[in-house]
Structure 1
Amino acid sequence: MASKAQLETLMDLARRETDDAAKRLGVALRAVDDAKQKHVMLVNFREEYVKRFEAAQAAGITPMAYRNFVAFIEKLETAIKGQTDMIHHAEHRSGQEKAAWQASERKRMSYSTLNDRADAAALKLENKRDQKLMDEFAARAAYYKR
């Protein structure tokens, strides 16, 4: 079994690894939220622009203005698709970071369990020694009492 100092070193390293993984997971989750917010913003802007386009059509617009509206809406659609891809990428990355955090947390917990077992074994050994000393003391006291 590893010594107490070795276990504590391993536990400290695992704790640091878990903390780093948790920070990376937090960054990845914020990236997902940011990507979703940008997507919502783009979709809302497209809806507003389509309403303006429809209002302009009802009022009558030139063919050049019509082409500009259509071209801009197509660019917005492309941006929305790109942002959707960014969301998928960010979600995939956050899934990877979550798995890494879970793995490092399992590792930290296993070292903690090993440390707890070592503490329990040391306590059991100490109790056994105490009991042996008490038995010897009682035996001597009984011997000298006679």
Structure 2
Amino acid sequence: MANPSALVTLIELAVKDSDDAARRLGEALRAAEETEKKLEMLLGYRDEYASRFQSNQANGISAMEYRNFQLFIDKLDTAISGQQTIVDNARHRVDGERKSWQECERKRMSYDTLASRAETARQHKENKRDQKQMDEYAARSAMYKR
């Protein structure tokens, strides 16, 4: 079995790594949420602009206004596409950070299990030693009573 102090050191390091991974995961989740909100805002703005254009179109618009609408919608679509890429990258980062955190947690739990087994083995050894001492004491007491 590993040296108890070495195991304690490994557990402390694993806890620190796990905490760091959890912090990075939290940051990645917040960043992903922000990118998704920006995407929703762009999509909402596009829908709003398109519906406004539809209502203006019912009243009649010039070719220049139509061309400006098309150019602006194209720019919005480009921005939406770019933001979708950013959202996908943020989600990918969240997945990576989640896997990293899970791996750190597995390692920490493994060390905790080793420490628990070492403690159980130590207690078993101590109980065995105590039982042996009690048996010897009982044997001596029985011998002296004769």
With the shorter chain as reference, the TM-score category is over 0.9
Query: CA shift at 1:3, angstroms?
Result: 1.3
Q: 2 CA distance for matches of 1:42 and 1:78?
A: 10
Q: 2 CA distance for matches of 1:70 and 1:7?
A: 66
Q: 2 CA distance for matches of 1:75 and 1:30?
A: 27
Aligned to 2:33: 33
Which whole-Å deviations, capped at 9, do the CAs of 1:33-68 have from their partners, x for residues lacking one? Answer: 112111111111001101121222222333322222
Q: 2 CA distance for matches of 1:23 and 1:92?
A: 17
Q: 1 CA distance for matches of 2:77 and 2:7?
A: 56
Query: CA shift at 1:31, angstroms?
Result: 1.7
Identity of aligned residues (%): 54
Query: CA shift at 1:28, angstroms?
Result: 1.1
Aligned residues: 146
CA RMSD of aligned residues (A): 1.1
Aligned to 1:88: 88
Q: 2 CA distance for matches of 1:51 and 1:101?
A: 45
Q: 2 CA distance for matches of 1:50 and 1:76?
A: 11
Aligned to 1:20: 20
Q: 1 CA distance for matches of 2:66 and 2:118?
A: 77
Give the structure-2-normalised TM-score: 0.95
> In terms of mean alpha carbon deviation, does 111-120 or 27-36 score higher?
27-36
Q: 2 CA distance for matches of 1:51 and 1:127?
A: 80
Give the structure-1-normalised TM-score: 0.95
Unaligned runs of 5+ in 1: none
Aligned to 2:125: 125
Q: 2 CA distance for matches of 1:106 and 1:8?
A: 16
Aligned to 1:137: 137
Aligned pair 1:54/2:65, yes or no? no
Query: CA shift at 1:96, angstroms?
Result: 0.6
What SS class does the counterpart of residue 60 from structure 1 fall into? Answer: coil
Aligned to 1:111: 111
What SS class does the counterpart of residue 86 from structure 1 fall into? Answer: helix
AA aligned opposite 2:94: S
Query: CA shift at 1:125, angstroms?
Result: 0.7
> In terms of mean alpha carbon deviation, does 58-67 or 71-80 score higher?
58-67
